[in-house]
Amino acid sequence: MSKTRLISVLTASVAVLIAAPQVVNDAPGVTVGLSGASVLHRAPVEYPAAALRAGVQGTLSVEVKIDATGNVADAHVLSGPDELRKAVLQSVLQWHFTSDSAGTTRVVQIAFELAKAQESQPAATQLVTVSSGATSGAQARPYAGMSSGSTVDGNTFRSGSFGGSLPPPTPLRIQFINVDGLPQQARDELLSRLPVHEGDIYSTDTLQKVAQAAKDFDEHLTTRFQGANGNGVSIQILAPGAQPPVPQTIKVGGNVQAVMVLKRVTPVYPELAKSAGVEGVVHLAVVIAKDGTIQEIHSLGGPALLIMPAMDAVKQWVYRPTLLNGQPVQVETTVDVNFTLNQ
């Protein structure tokens, strides 16, 4: 390959990398045409429920005015059904174009197709309710992202403090920094501007510094903080339309998870326990794998003669997989096995 051609190929490869499109989850039936432009990020376009019920479809032409930083400064619909205009404008006004479109006016096309919307039904999501009956009796909380100052995994991050329990014996470190929804070049540039990096010790002003650096880079970005493995913090920076990661494990109360059992094996009541008049409740902590099988099990208490029979039975249970945002997750929960002599 000649030197000239090699340079051309490399240049084209870099251009493809820089212009890599953001993956946006527009509503089923919605197609967005950017007329050759590229965006750093954009909010997804929803298909209004009222328009779906009324059978409204069509294509909207929208004129967008882009300011010097690439943000949409103004937008108005040139043509298209009235019932769809509000949803389109709510999305378009949050778009951020790449620098080559800065200071220009463009027309984008957004199509709504009723047949595709009706055919593409979203996957069913299992509603998971987190209660105080989670493993080890600790109060569990649902996964939640937050900006500066909020609570997650039982810990409160406010002005850099670590509350909700005594500080851990080792320093908190930043274990993960993830940026979702930006092209690779913009992602790398943002990471280089952050005042902290993975492995750094979490200080009292980390929260504010990271959030401010993200806002200085792009005012549409959202910064979220989450406890990680008990002695660290993970940082998530999201562009509009990007989905936060699904947690790998969630804690669910035993009563809630009980309705998910597909296969239940009844424990064998030991003859020795019967003859000794031993009865009572065995409390078990279990980890349910993503496929619904029992991955881990251990006792939290109960009559000694009854613990092993209870564990042997529950090991064979199978649950319906628990879904969060349409994806299977591992579950920590509790199981109570009641042994009663008069049964």
Q: What single DSSP character describes residue 259?
A: G
Residue 166, pLDDT > 50, answer: no
Over residues 220-240, mean pLDDT = 72
Could you tell me whether strands 161-163 and 222-228 are parallel, antiparallel, or unpaired per DSSP bridges?
unpaired
CATH placement of domain 144-238: 3.10.20.310
Q: Candidates 3.30.2420.10, 3.40.50.300, 3.40.50.2300, 3.50.50.60; correct CATH number of 249-339?
A: 3.30.2420.10
The answer to whether residues 152 and 226 touch, using CB atoms and an 8 Å cutoff, is yes
Domains of the chain, residue spans? 3-119, 144-238, 249-339
Amino acid 161: pLDDT: 34
Amino acid 170: pLDDT: 55
pLDDT in tens, 37-96: 888 888 888 888 888 888 889 999 999 999 998 899 999 999 999 999 998 998 899 888
Window from 14-28, 110-124, 323-337 with minimum mean pLDDT = 14-28
State the average pLDDT for the chain.
75
Residue 257, pLDDT > 60, answer: yes
Beta bridge partners of 180: 238
- Half-sphere exposure at residue 72, Cβ-oriented, CA atoms within 13 angstroms: 25
Q: Candidates 3.20.20.70, 3.40.718.10, 3.30.2420.10, 3.30.450.30; correct CATH number of 3-119?
A: 3.30.2420.10
Amino acid 34: pLDDT: 87
Percent of the chain residues past pLDDT 70, beyond the cut: 71
Residue that is written with structure tokens 């920076």 in the block: 237
Q: Do domains 3-119 and 249-339 have the same CATH topology?
A: yes
Q: Pick the more confident residue, 333 or 342.
A: 333
Window from 142-146, 193-197, 254-258, 273-277 with minimum mean pLDDT = 142-146
Over residues 162-182, mean pLDDT = 62
Residue among 332, 300, 313 at smallest CA distance from 266: 313
Residue among 304, 306, 322 at smallest CA distance from 314: 306
